[in-house]
Amino acid sequence: MKNSKVHTHEVRSKAAALPVTEAWVRFHLTGICGLVLNSGHTPLLTVIPDGRRPRFSVNDPAMEIPSHHAFVMFPAAAASGREADFNVKDGELGVCLLEQELITLAGGTIEPLPPKGTTTTEIINMARVCGHAKVAKSCVAFPPREDVLAQVSLPSGDLWVQTLSEDDYAFEPPCTLVTDPQTGQLAEVAAVDFHITDASTLMLESHAFGGGPSREALVLSLAGTSVEEPLIVTIANSPLPDLQRFVDNTPGGHEHDRDVHFELYYTLAATNPPLLPVIPVKQMTKVPHASNCGSAIMDVEE
């Protein structure tokens, strides 16, 4: 499905927001998030595996994959409606945990913008990593199978690289189904941009997987945005201590040369993975801390 304008009803916050004729919004995507461009439902469906239960790595049995949480992060001052589960960066950013829900956008006319970057080759592409890691159709359905913690639907697949790792990586063990393996720097944060007209707010609507009552919509004011300073909304799936490192831009997080967190992607796969799942392995250590887990483009099973 090609990118297209989305026309939706306007949603206003409880505060008396002044009409906004033009606004700009940027979504950041990071952590263990499957980026599906061929779901058949929407230009970009982010499928987030349920990694809340800690587990030990298949590749390195002595290493634990800590609990991962899906969340949306946003400027707290711009938000109303759904209450934040907690705040970070001295209250500047609000965080809502995403659990058993699909998030969609509403508010004005939402038009995709072209990618800012000139290349997307650094975004992890599972077609160049492991041929076994294709998303099951049951993971892009609604409601999805139980391995999926959350889904986020965005009306554009024009991804670009916001932040690159400072380390180079290869993927090991090599997958026999891959003829052109991905190597080098990896995108820590991918991004997609939107231009919004005829609205003063953007609403992130929640649709419960189980068919029960959905969470209140998160309403974000569009006032004061510009091309140079868009409203930033982050969709992510990571250990919560890594979230703090990410927002503070400080060293820390999971520090190891073999990123076993990557194994969580295989919980979305249509078929059983190889005995040893393919994971990113550092080729050159340029800084004393590991990169953030990157989101990955994933194809859907045929």
Q: How confident is the prediction for the chain on average, in pLDDT?
A: 88
* Token digits of residue 228: 């140079």
Integer Cα distance of 89 and 248 in angstroms: 7
54-89 pLDDT, tens digit per residue, is 999 999 999 999 999 999 999 999 999 999 999 998
Predicted local distance difference test score (pLDDT) of residue 1: 41
Look at strands 93-97 and 86-88 and give their pairing.
antiparallel
- Host H or E run for residue 162: strand 160-172
100-121 pLDDT, tens digit per residue, is 999 999 999 999 999 987 678 9
Integer Cα distance of 218 and 88 in angstroms: 17
Give, in order, the Cα–Cα distances in Å from 296 to each of 107, 122, 257: 28, 10, 19
Give, in order, the Cα–Cα distances in Å from 185 to each of 169, 217, 238, 294: 6, 37, 20, 11
Integer Cα distance of 11 and 167 in angstroms: 43
Predicted local distance difference test score (pLDDT) of residue 290: 41
